[in-house]
Amino acid sequence: MKRSRNAKIIATLGPSSSTRTRIEQLFKAGADVFRLNFSHGSHEDHKERYDAIRDVEKELGAPIGIMMDLQGPKLRLGKFRDGSALLGIGRRFRLDLNDAPGDVTRAPLPHPEIFEVLKPGMTLLLDDGKMRLKVLECGADFAETEVMVDGVLSDRKGVNVPDAVLPLSALTEKDMADLRFGLQIGVDWVALSFVQKADDIREARKIIGKKASIIAKLEKPSAIDDLDEIVELADAVMVARGDLGVELPPEDVPILQKRIITKAREKGRPVIVATQMLESMITAPAPTRAEASDVATAIYDGTDAVMLSAETAAGDYPIETVEIMDRIIQRVEGDVLYHKLRDADRVAPEETEADAISAAARQVAQTIKAKAIVTYTTTGSTSYRVARERPEITILGLTPKVETARKLALVWGVLASVTPDAKNFNEMVQGARKMAKAEKIGERGDTLVVTAGVPFGTPGATNILRIATLS
């Protein structure tokens, strides 16, 4: 199903959007990839949603990507004697491993790994950053702090340690169980939470292998320090702005968004901008003008995809939210300034045959006003490299593997389609012509630019470019 835009939309499924009918409506409204949030719901819930997506995919004949989003470690306080406590600014407050209920003077923090890295002067953030503590003294099982930002603290509120890398794996026991389940049913993308360093990606890769592609969720300040290697190792990255905004000053987040998108573009990795994009539409039928501008900024910045969370999972207007996001993207991509920025920000090709052919394909297509660039790909790498060029026309990603087509549903500008494997280049060209007609991309006499690799089926071996005319 050809969209009237290049950037993709990810919609999270939940109580507002779990039926097969609603999933089909979301796809037709513009959702390209569906997110299964494993912070909520049972395996049975997610299996039902997975099956419904695949049923819609089969009926409509369009590959649909499915992302599983792992919860990651959750650092939380214990409980309070009265359920909550009012902490006053400037007062002392102790955190320790004692599991006795807390009060206005102390609270249990059942995470020895936090005390292991604390140092005097460090900051602790509580309840999504609403409260702030400064560490005065600390040891292996306690921290004496001063309340810098006061408020009411209640049971099981979250704790963030922005000044340190915690000795924690990004994969908890729950994540491992969820991951085994997700890989078994056949998810296409695994979004890895709590990424602090490149080794977290390596650990996940050992388990996932080639069964799914990895999205590194960039939500910790330490991950930004290791950004180059994380982007290199991951298959895609996500700008998780909500969590970044907890541990970093809010004025830093827009700058980091641009930096992460730029780095992902340089490496040819798909990049997603997520969190609070159209949040007011959880309860309202239209977004704020600021939210519309926020979505537009992500598109101007060059993101591959934008993601909806509670807006579609639990909101009152899931279909309308996707439709409005679709309209915003189309409007931006039709703007003259968008095209000027895209040309100005185009990334220089790397010194490889694949990048040389991909860059040439864009230039040739632009010169002869071709209707599409057709990429034959087994793993998706050829389509990724052409998408990195941000051409003005559709990228028709043809692959014999449905798994690859589903992954390409996330990639900017790619219209993925499953085709029989070609035995030679002439068969490839004929297949390209056939699919272009089927997708109504061109008419008789129009031209296509076809790229492929020889020998066939070799990942990253793009080394042929040919112009084909539709007959």
Distance from C-alpha of 303 to C-alpha of 267, rounded to nearest angstrom: 13
Q: Does some domain include residue 346?
A: no
Q: Is the CB of residue 291 less than 8 Å from the CB of residue 280?
A: yes
236: DSSP letter: E
Q: Decide: helix, strand or coil at residue 128.
A: coil
Please tell me what DSSP assigns to residue 105. S
Domain containing 443 — which CATH number? 3.40.1380.20
Domain shared by 207 and 105, yes or no: no
d(CA 339, CA 300): 9
Same domain assignment for residues 372 and 426: yes
Are 369 and 311 part of one and the same domain? no
Spatial separation of the C-alpha atoms in residues 270 and 215, rounded to whole Å:
9
DSSP for residue 280: G
User: What is residue 42's predicted lDDT score, i.e. its pLDDT?
Assistant: 96
Task: Check whether 464 has a pLDDT greater than 90.
Answer: no
Give the confidence band of 226 by pLDDT, cuts at 50, 70, 90: very high
Residue 456 has pLDDT above 70, yes or no: no
Count other C-beta atoms under 10 Å from residue 284's C-beta. Answer: 15
Q: Do 238 and 252 meet the contact criterion of CB atoms below 8 Å apart?
A: no
Q: What digits encode the pLDDT tens for the residues 16-44?
A: 999 999 999 999 999 999 999 999 999 99
pLDDT digits (tens, 9 = 90+) for 155-178: 999 999 999 999 999 999 999 999
Among candidate residues 139, 160, 181, the one where a domain is terminated: 160
Structural domain includes residue 258: yes
Among candidate residues 5, 8, 35, 106, the one labeled active-site is 35
Query: Which is the catalytic residue, given 106, 132, 217, 407?
Result: 217
Distance CA(81)–CA(154), nearest Å, equals 10
Q: Which is nearest to 33 in space by CA: 236, 281, 194?
A: 236
Assess if residue 54 is contained within a domain: yes
As a whole number of angstroms, the distance between CA 53 and CA 13 comes to 10
* 340 within a domain of the structure (yes/no): no
Q: Give the bridge partners for 130, in sequence order.
A: none
Same domain, yes or no, for 150 and 241?
no
217 tagged catalytic: yes
User: Span 186-198, mean pLDDT?
Assistant: 97
Proportion of the chain above pLDDT 90, given as a percent: 85
Residues 321 and 185 in one domain: yes
Q: Which residues contact 312 (CB under 8 A, 6 or more apart)?
A: 11, 12, 13, 14, 16, 17, 26, 31, 318, 321, 322
Dihedral sign from CA coordinates of 195, 200, 205, 206: negative
CA–CA distance, 452 with 440 (Å, rounded to integer): 22
Average pLDDT, the chain: 94
Residue 460 has pLDDT above 70, yes or no: no
pLDDT at 149 exceeding the cut of 90: yes
Per-residue confidence (pLDDT) for residue 459, from 0 to 100: 63
pLDDT computed for residue 461 by the predictor: 67
- Do 314 and 417 belong together in one domain? no
Query: Regarding beta strands 159-160 and 123-126, do their DSSP bridges make them parallel or antiparallel, or are they unpaired?
Result: antiparallel
Number of domains in the chain: 3
Specify whether 17 is located in the same domain as 96: no
Q: Which of 160, 194, 211 is the last residue of a domain?
A: 160
Instruction: Return the SS3 of 99.
Output: coil
Q: Which two tokens stand for residue 384?
A: 């990724």
pLDDT in tens, 264-304: 999 999 999 999 999 999 999 999 999 999 999 999 999 99
Amino acid sitting at position 397: G
Q: Tally helices (H) and strands (E) across the chain.
A: 17, 21
pLDDT at 306 over 80: yes
pLDDT at residue 291, as a whole number: 97
Tokens of 370: 């071709």
Q: Are residues 319 and 226 in the same domain?
A: yes
| Under 8 Å between Cβ of 292 and 276 | no
What CATH number does residue 16 fall under?
3.20.20.60
> Which domain-ending residue is among 111, 141, 160?
160
Would residue 231 count as lying in a domain? yes
Residue 78 located in a structural domain: no
- Name the pLDDT band for 412 (thresholds 50, 70, 90): very high
pLDDT at 394 over 90: yes
- ∠ CA 45-51-54, nearest 5°, is 145
Can you list the positions of beta strands (E) in 142-279?
A: 142-149, 151-154, 159-160, 189-192, 213-218, 236-240, 271-274
Is omega for the bond preceding 455 within 30 degrees of 0, making it cis? yes
Say if residue 445 is in the same domain as residue 377.
yes
- Quick: pLDDT tens for 341-376: 988 888 888 888 889 999 999 999 999 999 999 999
Instruction: Give residue-wise pLDDT tens across range 314-326.
Output: 999 999 999 999 9
Q: Of 20, 28, 76, 331, which residue is the catalytic one?
A: 76
Q: Of the candidates 125, 76, 79, 134, which has an alpha carbon nearest to the alpha carbon of residue 106?
A: 79
- Give 188's DSSP letter: S
What is the CATH classification number for the domain harbouring 124?
Answer: 2.40.33.10
| Of 435 and 80, the one with more pLDDT | 80
Cβ proximity of 235 and 268 under 8 Å: no
Q: Give residue 94's domain range.
A: 84-160
Long-range contacts of 176-181 (CB under 8 A, 24+ apart): 176/207, 178/38, 178/43, 178/68, 178/70, 178/71, 179/68, 179/70, 179/207, 179/208, 181/43, 181/46
Q: Are residues 42 and 181 in the same domain?
A: yes
Q: Is 275 a catalytic residue?
A: yes
pLDDT for the residue numbered 458: 63
Please tell me the predicted confidence (pLDDT) of residue 266: 92
Residues 278 and 135 both lie in one domain: no
Among 12, 275, 321, 462, the one annotated catalytic = 275
Q: Is the pLDDT of residue 443 over 70?
A: yes
The residue among 423 and 315 whose pLDDT is bigger is 315
In a domain, 339, yes or no: no
What is d(CA 289, CA 310) in angstroms, rounded to the nearest whole number? 19
Query: Does residue 238 register a pLDDT over 80?
Result: yes
Lowest mean pLDDT among 8-12, 117-121, 458-462: 458-462
In a domain, 344, yes or no: no
Q: Which amino acid is residue 285, in one-letter code?
A: P
Three-state DSSP class for residue 409? coil
User: How large a percentage of the chain has pLDDT more than 70?
Assistant: 99
Which residue type is seen at 18? S
Residues 406 and 463 in one domain: yes
Q: How far apart are CA 433 and CA 30, in angstroms?
A: 26
